[in-house]
Structure 1
Amino acid sequence: MPLVKEIFSYLNANCNYAVLRNYAGLPDNLVGRDIDILIEKNDFDNNRRHIVNIILKENYRIITYFKSDRMTTFVCSAINKCNVDIIQFDFFCQTSAYGLIHLDANQILKTRAFNGKIYHVTREFEFLDKYLYLKSLNQPYPEKYQALKKVMEQSALLNNILKEIIGLNSLQELEKLSSAAFRRKALLANLRKRPLTQLLSFYSFLLSYLKNLLFHNGYSIGFTGADGSGKTTVINKIIETLKKTYPTIELFHFRPSMLPNLGETAHKIKLKSEVDRNFSQPHRGGETGKLNSLIRLLYYSIDYVLGYFVRVRPLLYKRSVVIFDRYFTDIIADSRRSRIFLNHKFLYWFGKLFIPNLDYNILLAADRNVILARKQELDVEGIDQINEKMKYLSKKKGYYLVMNNGNPEEAVQKILSIVFEGQHSKNMKRIMK
């Protein structure tokens, strides 16, 4: 892993740092999905651009950039002919939760160890960093770390550290405390030993929290295409690639579904006696008039707006990836499916003005003969109409036409290249400020 080796070679020569966990095998082999590095704040601030330059020199793109009071994250990716490589670096300048300091970073770094290739924390601080953070959030310590916990239960050094930082004599005493009691005890200890540092930490947390509300750190991708264009296969392959690094990938179908299906709603208010639930034939419905189409458009638009702010936006704030298998773009391109028979140019401008936009709108297309060989849901005329509307959309900003006539892996790599380049461009503007 050339990038990981280059990063650690630079850190060894220039920074006071230590890997927090999963350091066995580094820098040659990466065990977890990310690398957690504790580093002095001044060191990181002074060397941040050098680290970014190493990432760029190794031909990686920064697809997620996140900065808070306690950490800075770079999710980096490189695409070659056969592989998509994604690596996440988390640089921690302090160990805390919501501004409440748990451990002094300098204290941890003073006891760091060198294994011949990288610096890492001692086992006591490896345990306490994760355990105190989860304790503060009232979350259980993971099962996969239980072996380390059993060792720490017998550690006299750990007991000495606990006595020094919060006045407890053992891990058993800490375990008996509730989450709220632990936070109170840690806060009182900090205010007694380092009141200004603790108050500044709360201020830094609040400031970074408000800043991150202005810019979501996740990203959203929407897919549109005729039945038989290979959307499901491509989406599944993209999710399989991204989930190795991103813990949360949320898949929606067509809309956020804050509101029920329009037919169900009409049935509940007695406007329809029956509901057509034959979803295996999405193009079964007949053509609707202008008024009916407009009512459908307004109903779905309410769902898109409400659902975006209630269900989608919160996920993006959490650095998640949101994927729509069809979105409002599908209403523009495939009127028969949504039964909204309005001019596609009008629908585009309506969506531009009123519908929350996704970061990347992928228009997945294939030749008509390829589509008919895969699925006979549409006739030739229907396929051609959808492809023509997608060509119109492909000329608009934020829309990307991708052909999927052959191996879906080729389409996947093309789509990921589009997304990663777009993310990299956005993130570099923020990084270089």
Structure 2
Amino acid sequence: MNNEFNFLEARVEWDERHASLLKDFLDGLAFHGIRYVILKNDDGLPYENHSKDVDIVIEPSRYRDSARIIQSCYKKHGVSHYKVHKFERLRCWYGMNPDTRFAIHIDLLEGFLHKGFEMFPFDVLYAHSQKNDNGIQVLDDLMGNVVLLLHSTICYHSIKEKYAKSIAKTFQAEKDDFAVLLKDILGVSAANEMVTLLAAGRYKEIAKKGKHFSHQSKFRLLIKHPLFSIYNVADFLWEKVCRLLLNLNRYNTMISVHAPDGTGKTTFIEHFGNELGFYYVCAANDLLDTYHFRPNILPNLGAAGEKAGVMKQDKDFTNPHRAKPTGKLSSLLRMTYYWLDYVVGVPLILRKNAQFDKITIFDRYIYDFISDPERTRINLPFRLRMMFAKLTKKPDIVFILEADAETIHKRKQELTIDEINHQLKSLHRLAVSGKYFHILDAMKTPEEIAKDAIKLAFDLTTNKLQ
């Protein structure tokens, strides 16, 4: 991953639009007789939300009805695009509208599962629910903090300080009932161990033993519900196989960005990434995996040569065209070497990111061999370089930033105006070779370019409602 980008966390402010949408959705669930309970961070809902998203546990087998209701509510309240990410029985519904700068994230869960094991069945959660001051069905304080404790410990092996304070307060007030719920999930021995640590306020130690408590809970569930657990684990593993092998493209979005040096690629990627983070209601660093030019599974030839002691690497990166192109045979070998890096590295990157529905962004990609072969000392015919590019995994979207050569040269003097014009011509020739190439006007402000890119990306990678 490339760490040169300065991504920011853009927070979505919950307002009356979010409140009205959520209330309509919850009213719709009630109207259709679908029981639900808000999982955590429910204070003030639906009018206030102190979290990034809203976690709603719904009755198992009622997801399809719930999906129709939420889709209808999204459309009614002006959501233009939506995307659903599925993890086991959790569906993350992201709603967005770039024209009104609106974003919302609602999670629908059919029970509470972790790697195929159902920690908290819906009926158990619902039995420990009540209505808040605004008439919303939420977990009672006891179950809410038990869920918070086990979710933080087992899933993240970390307990935030504010969560620890809430858990400690409830544990002190309802110690016996707290222990009963823990024993039902973890078994007597592990529950007693956790209760001892809770009584001593040793939350960091609880978090460190996250794997231990996770294994204990899963063993307990396997003994209590063997067939049900085996079925759910098999379903979890099958989803993994689909994500990593059978349907890799379904869980991946790959984007590359191209332009001559000085056009503003880095600035564009930062603005674009921050906007993606806003609309997916998360930090851009959690959503994006960025790379510069190649996967770098194979080392740079100069670095490899220096390590082998056969040459000294030229590190004057301020002049990208400092070295002369190599001969035809040497160029072919270099091109083949770097092409193999894409062939091997890109699938590995995409499989890694498919596990979490991350978006992969390349700042330059193999198409740089088409527009700027001099940078890598490649001296091969255009058609041969295109052949290598066509034999490589294609991005879902390729953004090409275009501006006039004089403007680019004023921004950065690494290339001559003739070199910039040559690259712009090659990029334009490349842009007409496939529907996944999209030209952006780099004469606009970074904010305007990012907004244009967001609209294009949403039209191509999400579901349209408007």
Same topology, TM > 0.5: yes
Q: 1:18·1:38 contact (CA, 8 Å) conserved in 2?
A: yes
Counterpart CA distance in 2 for 1:174 and 1:195 is 30
- Gapped regions of structure 1 (runs ≥ 5): 429-433
2:108 partner letter = F
- Give matches, 1:16-415, under 5 Å: 16-62=35-81, 64-80=83-99, 83=101, 85-115=102-132, 116-137=134-155, 139-154=157-172, 155-156=174-175, 157-168=177-188, 171-173=194-196, 178-179=209-210, 182-183=213-214, 185-187=216-218, 189-191=220-222, 193-213=224-244, 214-215=247-248, 216-244=250-278, 245=282, 247-272=286-311, 274-353=312-391, 355-395=392-432, 396-415=434-453
Secondary structure at 1:328's aligned position in 2? coil
> What is the CA distance between 1:121 and its match in structure 2?
1.6
Deviations 1:113-150 (A, max 9, x none): 22215322223332233432343357122334121121
> What is the CA distance between 1:365 and its match in structure 2?
1.2
Counterpart CA distance in 2 for 1:381 and 1:422 is 34
Q: Provide the aligned length of Structure 1 versus Structure 2.
A: 423
> What is the CA distance between 1:405 and its match in structure 2?
0.3
Q: 1:3·1:54 contact (CA, 8 Å) conserved in 2?
A: no
1:147 partner letter = K
> What is the CA distance between 1:374 and its match in structure 2?
1.2
Secondary structure at 2:105's aligned position in 1? strand
Identity %: 26
Of residues 400-409 and 344-353 in structure 1, the stretch that sits farther from structure 2 once superposed is 344-353
1:238 partner letter = F
Secondary structure at 1:422's aligned position in 2? helix
Counterpart CA distance in 1 for 2:63 and 2:389 is 43
Q: Which residue of 2 aligns with 1:431?
A: none
1:10 and 2:33 correspond: no
- Gapped regions of structure 2 (runs ≥ 5): 1-14, 199-204
Q: 2:243·2:351 contact (CA, 8 Å) conserved in 1?
A: no
Counterpart CA distance in 2 for 1:296 and 1:325 is 20
CA 411–180 in structure 1, closer or farther in 2 if over 3 Å, else same: closer
Of residues 31-40 and 410-419 in structure 1, the stretch that sits farther from structure 2 once superposed is 31-40
Of residues 147-156 and 220-229 in structure 1, the stretch that sits farther from structure 2 once superposed is 147-156
Deviations 1:291-347 (A, max 9, x none): 232122111112222222333431233212222111112221122222223333432
Counterpart CA distance in 1 for 2:242 and 2:152 is 24
1:161 partner letter = L
TM-score by length of 2: 0.82
Q: 1:24·1:31 contact (CA, 8 Å) conserved in 2?
A: yes
2:147 partner letter = D
Of residues 227-236 and 15-24 in structure 1, the stretch that sits farther from structure 2 once superposed is 15-24
> What is the CA distance between 1:222 and its match in structure 2?
0.9
1:108 partner letter = L
Deviations 1:13-56 (A, max 9, x none): 42311221222333334433222211112222222123223323
> What is the CA distance between 1:3 and its match in structure 2?
4.9
Q: 1:102·1:133 contact (CA, 8 Å) conserved in 2?
A: no
Q: Which residue of 1 aligns with 2:454?
A: 416
CA RMSD of aligned residues (A): 2.7
TM-score by length of 1: 0.88
Of residues 165-174 and 62-71 in structure 1, the stretch that sits farther from structure 2 once superposed is 165-174
